[in-house]
Amino acid sequence: MNIGTTYGGVAFRDVLHARWAFVFDMVGIDWSYAIVAPSWLAPGVPTFHMPTRHLYFRSEPGYDSRAIRAWKAFADAFDAQCEANADAEDEPEDEPLIDPYLSMADHPDSRLLICLGGIPDPTNFDQYGPVGGEDQWLLLSPNGGQDCPYYWTRCDTCGFVDAEFTGRAARLDCGHGEGDKDYNAASPVLLAAYAMARRTLPAKWGRKKCPSCTLPVAPNELIAPDERTWQHARCAFAAEAARRIADSASAHL
């Protein structure tokens, strides 16, 4: 059963989506959740939008062919309405966060990454990505094309993270890679984010204050528990970021 979970002031449909938002914060990807869409869009609206990556993201707990069909229906409905909007004098009453005048078919960089199976197990990776996970990460284009596997990967020069085929960091838009490979889906930063996210869980009951920020912990709020206490997952993220900065500074002394 899905448990509604709160993280960073955002209400998520289930703990899996909240955990992914935590991962995205950990690795520096801007995101918006539960994209607001008008009634004319088909079911299957992507769960996350990452505008700086030209990417939509959808996570399912397991394989579901309906999610793939829903993306195609979403893209088709989007394009059909875009054509109608182009002939209309007024904008639709329910304006979506995505520009109704931009056709997905005209913008092939509007991609959808579907992850089927939850947060990856960081102990089950090789340099190419999750072991045995080739069919669990699909990248879909607006015209119905698909390719796999696409994994999150990271540039070790600047820290830029995006989804690329088999985790090839050399293809990242930051341009620091050489050649066409540089497999880095198993970046220690990504694996640490997955590990922390898998340990988070929704609080079963409230608590007067988080030991890190002293603000209350609400029931069903995403927390990062340890043996003695728990804290907001967002506070755990801040602590981890501070530790990385300190480690980086020490390495350059």
What is the β-pairing status of strands 10-12 and 32-33? unpaired
CA gap 210, 203 in Å, rounded: 12
Contacts for 140 with CB less than 8 Å, ≥ 6 apart: 68, 71, 72, 111, 112, 113, 114, 146
Predicted pLDDT of residue 144: 61
Predicted pLDDT of residue 97: 42
Predicted pLDDT of residue 123: 94
- pLDDT (tens digit, 0 to 9) for every residue of the chain, 253 residues total? 466 899 988 999 899 999 999 999 999 999 999 765 555 555 566 788 888 898 888 888 777 777 777 777 777 776 666 666 555 545 545 444 445 445 555 555 678 888 888 899 999 998 888 887 666 787 776 666 678 889 999 999 999 999 999 999 999 999 897 777 899 999 999 999 999 999 999 988 877 777 777 788 889 999 887 655 677 888 777 777 667 656 655 655 5
Predicted pLDDT of residue 200: 92
Whole-structure pTM value: 0.80
Predicted pLDDT of residue 147: 82
Domain range summary for the chain, segments of one domain joined by +? 1-11+200-253, 35-199
Residue type, 113: L
Residue 125: which H helix or E strand, with range? strand 125-126
Predicted pLDDT of residue 185: 94
Alpha carbons within 13 A on the beta-carbon side of 8: 19
Residue type, 98: I
CA gap 57, 78 in Å, rounded: 17
